[in-house]
Amino acid sequence: MTVDIIPPASQRRWWKESTVYQIYPASFNDHADSGHGTLPGIIERVPYLQELGVDIIWLSPIYESPQADMGYDISDYQKIDPRYGTLEDWDNLRDACHERGMKLVMDLVVNHSSNEHAWFKESRSSKTNPKRDWYYWRKGSINEKGERVPPNNWEAMWGGSTWEYDEESDEYYLHLFAKQQPDLNWLNPEVREAVYKMMRWWLDRGADGFRMDVINFIDKAPGFPDAPTTNPYTVYQPFGPLSVGRPGVHTHLKEMHEKVLKDYDCFCVGECPGGDDPEAFAQYSKPENNELQMVFNFHHLGFDRARTSTIGRGWNPDWKLSDFKQVVNTWHVDLPKEGGWMSNYVDNHDQPRLLSRIGSDHPDHRARSAQAVAVFHTTLTGTIFVFQGQENGQINMPHSWGEEEYKDIESVEIFEGERERLKREGATQAEIDERIKWVLGNLRETARDNGRTPMQWDSSEHAGFSKGQPWMRVHDDYKQWNVKSQENDKQSVWSFWQAMLALRKKHLAIIYGKFIPLDESSEENYTYIREDEDTGEKLLVVLNLARGPDRTGLPIKVDLASMGVDTSNAQLIIANDGAEVGSGISGPLDLDNWGARVYLLQQGRAVLN
């Protein structure tokens, strides 16, 4: 009789062992000719996702929206935007997932709504309207120059004040993001109950949970005090802990659990920007706290960012692998120690492609470096989140593309903000042009647009994404890099991703085990052990992430003995460099450019539950 080598039943949860696949609906698949992704288009691809190894589909917002921020400005939480389809289409997608044993997760955007939402329209209509206090309204002041001044100096996420003046009522409303995204007042119990009612409506309809947008922004500092000056180049200052990760967030999430989530076997992950440490982040996902299953942190994705004097999407080309490893290692060691559960992602709709950041876009090295990134991503701790296009090696937008190809509100605001600032300062047109060229160079590496180019399905016109003109330009390389050209190629990036997702489910030490980093100061290799102390299973991951000229990579030698690793029983279980599966380790490993290997160091034993 074969006994599965598994951790104790008390540890296991379906959402821990699942592969979550994030779909950015506008760019995934258009079933017709609108040039914009649709729900029927997603339904067409559900069998594809099942074949890849996906368990949970997470949809970025598809609700009714004016689309000021690609649907993160919601005007009706219980309607589907016509661009995507209808509620009946959503029901059909739900059924297509559930029939295959897959789950469907919605995006929950409730720190703010659209200014076109009926709630805000009522709130704005009169100071005496019952919904006036559903949003934050405050009086401004007049300074010594006779100028109207907002209630405080907080800087919105994409520049300018967080306060927008409303002439009719002579008051300002708060918006931490764009002015079209007014913040909901979570101190008002009527607001919270309206949100909970909406959540129950979706869960009762068959949704399997939520990804919660900037959920740790929902509690604001009493009195809205000024933020300290951390950037002397701007009038407005980052609000930071005055509206990020405050104690009231946990109070609200506990109430949400009690009033909604505890009644459903659902999956909830919160997006939590901010600089807090693993101990603080663990509080969201500790089971005894009754809040969420996990949250996204952002610490590991700032490794190649440079905060400039005026733009928040600056790029640092001189980043070090050791710095990147230090952040990743800290979180994958410390958060589990604190009782939290990791959400494991490297790409999403707000990030450039990690393949273009730590891998190589070079045609001769792209496939292998994409496979190395796949090994890295899939062998990290916690639940895994794959973003559309990772599985077929999609990369950042081409450097040859001009400013006009950048569609994201943040990118547009950066370009416009820099032009306005330079004009105020009296810059010449030549100086403005030179600065915009510099801005474009930074955004080519860091912009959110990089992850939003349409999915590349095949080599037909528009990469098989749509029969119409796509809302956003398809990457120039789609004829060579697409799903169809890779699905039946056993050596492709796609096939390698499929194998890694299956491997993850077979070797549960990757999911439940300790993360033990090795050779942390190396600028060439990334090496670590995954060990399940309950079953004894132990795996070794060795990655060559050495960067050569033009990001082509370099061959390296890795001396595992010097790291104190016992490799006497090592057996190779997967590699991207042609090494023979089942082979062992004798002496230092020679890894070619972007080589990646996973070895089984110790077999697990059965655990009686």
- pLDDT tens, residue by residue, 291-316: 999 999 999 999 999 877 678 899 99
User: What pLDDT score was predicted for residue 609?
Assistant: 55
Residues 384-404: what's their mean pLDDT?
A: 98
Of 414, 418, 367, nearest in space to 392 by CA: 367
Does residue 1 carry a pLDDT above 50?
A: no
- For 367, phi then psi, to 5°, come to -65, -50
- Enter the tokens of residue 609: 């539950």
* Residue type at position 382: G
pLDDT per residue as tens digits for the range 206-244: 999 999 999 999 999 999 999 999 988 889 999 999 999
Does residue 6 carry a pLDDT above 80?
A: no
- Enter the tokens of residue 381: 């701790």
User: What pLDDT score was predicted for residue 11?
Assistant: 82
Residues 450-455: what's their mean pLDDT?
A: 98
User: What pLDDT score was predicted for residue 311?
Assistant: 82
CATH H-level, domain 509-602: superfamily: Golgi alpha-mannosidase II (2.60.40.1180)
Percent of the chain residues past pLDDT 90, beyond the cut: 93
Cβ atoms of 218 and 240 closer than 8 Å: no
- Name the active-site residue from 73, 213, 347, 410: 213
Cβ atoms of 454 and 394 closer than 8 Å: no
Does residue 15 carry a pLDDT above 60?
A: yes
pLDDT per residue as tens digits for the range 181-214: 999 999 999 999 999 999 999 999 999 999 999 9
The per-residue b/e assignment along 93-127, b for 16 or more CB within 10 angstroms, e otherwise, is bbebbeeeebbbbbbbbbbbbbbbbebbeebbeee
Beta bridge partners, 558, equal 589
CATH H-level, domain 19-113+188-399+453-493: superfamily: Glycosidases (3.20.20.80)
Does residue 553 carry a pLDDT above 50?
A: yes
User: What pLDDT score was predicted for residue 551?
Assistant: 83
- Name the active-site residue from 271, 347, 445, 449: 271
pLDDT per residue as tens digits for the range 328-369: 999 999 999 999 999 999 999 999 999 999 999 999 999 999
Percent of the chain residues past pLDDT 70, beyond the cut: 98
Beta bridge partners, 23, equal 59
Helices (H), 425-492: 429-446, 484-487
Mean predicted lDDT score pLDDT of the chain: 96
Residue 487 pLDDT class (50, 70, 90 cuts): very high
* Residue type at position 508: L
Tell me, yes or no, if 271 is annotated catalytic.
yes
Q: Does domain 118-174 have CATH number 3.90.400.10?
A: yes
Residues 145-174: what's their mean pLDDT?
A: 96
β-strands 571-575, 596-602: how paired? antiparallel
Start-end of CATH 2.60.40.1180 domains in the chain: 509-602
User: What pLDDT score was predicted for residue 312?
Assistant: 82
Separation between Cα atoms, residue 142 and residue 150, nearest integer Å: 9
Does residue 599 carry a pLDDT above 60?
A: yes
User: What pLDDT score was predicted for residue 608?
Assistant: 55
Start-end of CATH 3.20.20.80 domains in the chain: 19-113+188-399+453-493
Residue 3 pLDDT class (50, 70, 90 cuts): very low
Does residue 13 carry a pLDDT above 80?
A: yes
User: What pLDDT score was predicted for residue 148?
Assistant: 95
Tell me, yes or no, if 338 is annotated catalytic.
no
Residue 269 pLDDT class (50, 70, 90 cuts): very high
HSE-CB of 57 using CA atoms within 13 angstroms: 29
Residue 2 pLDDT class (50, 70, 90 cuts): very low
Residues 395-416: what's their mean pLDDT?
A: 96
Cβ atoms of 178 and 68 closer than 8 Å: yes
Separation between Cα atoms, residue 505 and residue 507, nearest integer Å: 6
Residue 4 pLDDT class (50, 70, 90 cuts): low
